A = this chain, B = another copy of it.
Amino acid sequence: MNALFFARSAAIIALALAVGSFATAQAQPVQQRNRVVIQVSDGDAAKWNLALNNARNLQTDLGPSNVQIEIVAYGPGIGMLKLDSPVADRIATAKDAGVAILACENTMKGQKLAREDMLGGIGYAAAGVVEIMQKQQEGWTYLRP
């Protein structure tokens, strides 16, 4: 009776573990929502427009609710997010469409830029490159126009 009790207990524990483990293993290939981090590090308005085109095309082709997009501007790319940015209107449109827009505070410090010098409503990352690295580590796709 003791042996039978052991067999039953072991079987129940094994069953629980196997089911849990099976569920974990099966969960991994599940397709996650599309997530794309777009880097802007060139001091070139044509590149800023290209990055914004890329974001718009991702939303148009996949459907805005099927893709999460974050644009990170750093280095010479920071000009894209300054008050006098030639693409200020498009930044506002992208924000309204749900695109996250982040400025690198390391770059801002280096260029003596304060938040008052930047477009309203954008977000900030302490270090743009760390933000881009972490997004990739979390499984986001990297796009460098």
Contacts and interface: CB of A to CB of B under 8 A. Distances in A.
Which bucket holds chain A's interface residue count?
35 or more
Contacts of A83: none
Contact of A8 (B3, B53, B145): B3
A45 interface: no
Contact of A15 (B14, B20, B26, B130): B14
The secondary structure that dominates the A interface is helix
Contact of A57 (B10, B46, B130, B136): B130
A17 B136 CA distance: 33
B127 A58 contact: yes
Interface in A13-67: 13-15, 17-22, 24-26, 28, 31, 34, 36, 39, 41, 46, 50, 53-54, 57-58, 60-62
Interface string A101-145: 000001000000000000000000011011011001100011111
A76 interface: yes
A62 B27 CA distance: 31
Contacts of A76: 46, 50
Interface of A: 3-4, 6-8, 10-15, 17-22, 24-26, 28, 31, 34, 36, 39, 41, 46, 50, 53-54, 57-58, 60-62, 75-76, 106, 126-127, 129-130, 132-133, 136-137, 141-145
Query: Which 4 A-B residue pairs are closest in the complex by CB-CB distance?
Result: A17-B18, A10-B11, A14-B14, A11-B11
